[in-house]
Structure 1
Amino acid sequence: MRSLKNIKLKRLYVNYFKLGSNFDYLLEAIEEGDMKSLLEIYAKSSASTQQQTTKLVSFLHKMPLLHVLDIAYNKAEAGKSIPILANNLNQCKALQALCLNDMEAPSHDMELLAQNLPSQLTGLDITGNVMSDTVASHLMVTLPRQLTRLYINVDNLSKSKHNELLHSVHSKLTCLQKLYVKGSPYPGDLVKHGGLALTSCPHLYWLELIPSCDDFIPEDCVATFMKGMQQARSIKSLYLDGVHLDMRSFQELTRLSQLKCLDELGFSRRLLPEGVQSEELDDFVTLY
């Protein structure tokens, strides 16, 4: 770490390495301007303290060329890490991908982040932090239209805000290629909006929907999803972990998946319709 000033580092990958005091050397190098050439930083679960995470995001202006910032699985310092990051994002003119999943940031902190998303982002992962109706309201305004990858959790949302947010996603973000929505307490609405995304986002090739309960999906919501599957142009990977379908709907889903030449259809083993034997499923069907 002490020799970073002697090289023009472009990419730093320290995912899952608990650096301990070495993380402080990294912070020192950034603060002293030795990381000006850095384009990508991948530091999943590498900070040993919340304070180290806060210091890292406070030095973003020292990395003016940064394209990718991935600090997932580092627990945020409540009231500091994410707010400081949010306030510094306007200086990150080159930033394209922001991965902040599973930092356990509280709602108020996520509100500040949602208000300050860089308009040039193409990738955003904020799962594993507290989502609220207020956060969702801000996201509906600030999510950049050119996003190609979006990972969000929608737990804790009211039904109306849940549907407003998901409607905003598939109606506004028509460049999406990967969409991950986790923790929905409204499985029918989740599946319906997933189908609408398949219709509205012609480049969508990867879709994962995870409800937080396994209620049966109503027929009208299933019909919207199947229509989306019929119209989808690019879908290759579809994961429905926790989505509960009846036999007819499951059979139609597998038929359409074959028709679309999916590489993989992920489904919950425990929610297979009665009478479906896992060993009889096609090779592209993966059971969780």
Structure 2
Amino acid sequence: MRLRIDCAYDGTDFSGWAAQPGRRTVQATLEAALATALRLPELRVTVAGRTDAGVHARGQVTHVDVDREVVEASAGRSTDPPLEALARRVDGILPPDLRVRRVREAPVGFDARFSATWRRYAYRIADDRELADPLVRGHVLEWGRRLDVAAMNEASAPLVGLRDFAAFCKQREGATTVRTLLELGWSRDASGLVVGAVRADAFCHNMVRALVGSLVAVGEGRQPATWPAEVMAGRRRDAGVRVLHAHGLTLEEVGYPDDDELSAQAERARARREAIDA
């Protein structure tokens, strides 16, 4: 059976999602806890989107394939349904900065990575001394100058759509930097924090934090509202674009199509990925 596992984590003390020798990562920590709970020597999960070191997640999604009998046996004497018992057991093994929010049997055709149609991030900024809160310092960027949200929204609008984001990505040889940015907007939440909502079919390395850095430059008046679009049109990394700190960024949600479209979406996404890597 394929299990869909929704999880959340505080990225502060993790070296990102992907397993790396000698480093504490979300992937390795989750896989170890799952293997212990299921009494398996090892297993490997597939993730919707890898997050960088220091980036947080509320809505990360993974999947793993295991024998149904193994799942049922792991419940032991628990009277809870096997997947609820598994989630509780895994959470009892995990450290407090990584939580399993839900474990369920995935529908046919589900792939945490390739079935996803979009990923949504939020970037939070405290741009006033009165907004600085030590209790959320690990999740909110403190910024010393007041930001003009209206100007940031004006600058964001031309970036939405199917675009080449080479100017905002750390490029890898042979990898495309073309993405479909579905949403990019700024608002103030109830507490007054500036919150950027960023949603795309996928992201390349450093893309969100570089976009935010260019828009903050507009918000504080260092650059005109036309500047981010001009940078993007250059299709190469611009020294003027600052990649902002990771701790202000949180993966909030991953979107999937209806169950009867999961397989088709996965096939389309996998074909694109294989074409890119060829």
Give TM-score, length-normalised by structure 1. Answer: 0.27
Which one has more relative contact order, counting CA pairs under 8 Å at least 6 apart? 2
Instruction: Give the structure with the higher percent strand.
Output: 2
